[in-house]
Amino acid sequence: MAPLLLLASNGAIIFLMSKTLPNHKEYSFKHHFVPHPHHKTRATLLSHSAIFTYLLGIVLIFGSFRLISKTFPGVLGYASDITTQDLLNLTNQKRLESGLTELRINSALSSAAKRKAEDMFKEGYWSHISPSGTEPWDFILRENYDYVYAGENLAKNFNTSKDVVQAWVNSSSHKENIMNKNYEEIGFAVVNGVLDGYETTLVVQMFGKSRTGSYVASAKDENKILESVATVSEDTGLVPDPKNEPIQKQIVIENPVVQPTVDIATASKAIGLVFVIYIVVLLLLDIWYSKRHSIFKLTGHSLAHLSFLMITLVGMLLMMMPGKIL
C-alpha cells in the first residue's frame, strides 16, 4: 500500500491508501498462467488462440512422423521382443486350456509363413490377399504342403509374444483359428523390415492339417528343434527349402531383432503424457487462482475447446499405437 495525498475544497489535506501498481512485465507474465481479474478471462495459455496453437502443433508433430518415415525409412518404428518359442508355447497353452491337443511345428508351414511376410514387405501391403491376388494357400502349396485344412493369422507391431497371442484370442475370428480342432500343425514367422516407411515386425501364423500326414516329433526332439532356431535376414531372402530336407526336420523362421532408431510408440506416449500433464497443471492453477481471488470468468467455451483438443490428441495417439491383427 502507498499513501496518496488529496487536497479537499476546504483546503484540508486528506491521506488515502492505495495499492501499489504492479510491475507491468511481471503482471503480464503472470497472466499467461493464471486468469485475468479485470478482463475476466482464462490464462493466456488456456485462451482460444493458445488452444488452436496446441492443436496445430499436435497435427504438425504427428504429421512429421509420416514425413520422416517417408524420407528416412526405418528410422521410426515399433520396438518388439517376440520369439517363435513363446508364440508356440502360448498358442498351445490356450488350446490346452480349452481341452484341445497341442499343435506341432511344421517346417513347410513355417517356410510359407516366412515367404508371406517377405511378400508383404516387398509389395508393401498388409492383408491376407496380396495386391496381385495371391492368397495364403498359395504360399502353403508352394512349399508342397498338401493340406486338408489351413488357416492364417497375422499381427504387426506388438511388443511381446504374449500381446500377440492375447490379441488373437480376443478376436473371435482369430481365436477360431487357434481353437480349430481340425488343425494338427502350425508354422510361425517373425520377420523385421520396413513397411510404409516404419521399421515393422510382422508375425505370420500358419495352421494346417496335411492330407498325407507328417512326422510326429517327440517332445525331446521338438525342444532341440526350437533351441536351434534358424535366423535369417528379411533382406537376403535366404530360407531353408523344405523340398531338400527330410520331412521330420522342423524349422522355425525368426529374424534377428532389429530395433528402430526411434520407437514411435514410446515417443507418442511421451509426447501425449507431457502435454496432458501440462494442460492439467494449467487447469488446476486456473481453478485455484479463480477461487482464491473470486474471479468469475466469461470464457466458458474454453473447456469445450480443450475437450476437443484432448479428443484429437487421444485419437492421434491411438493411430500411432502399436499392435494390429488381421
Give average pLDDT by consecutive 10-residue segment, the chain, 326 residues.
50 49 55 68 77 79 66 53 91 96 95 96 94 96 95 90 93 95 95 82 94 58 45 39 36 48 67 79 81 65 62 61 74
pLDDT computed for residue 119 by the predictor = 96
Place of cell 488357416: 151
Instruction: Determine contact, residues 253/191, Cβ cutoff 8 Å.
Output: yes
For residue 313, what pLDDT is reported? 62
Of the candidates 262, 261, 275, the residue with the CA atom closest to the CA atom of residue 58: 275
Residue at grid coordinates 482460444: 48
Helices (H), 72-185: 84-97, 107-123, 136-142, 161-170, 172-178
Nine cell digits for residue 272 = 501425449
Cβ(115)–Cβ(142) below 8 Å: yes
pLDDT for 149 = 95
pLDDT value at residue 250:
39
pLDDT at position 239:
39
Single-letter residue type at 306: L
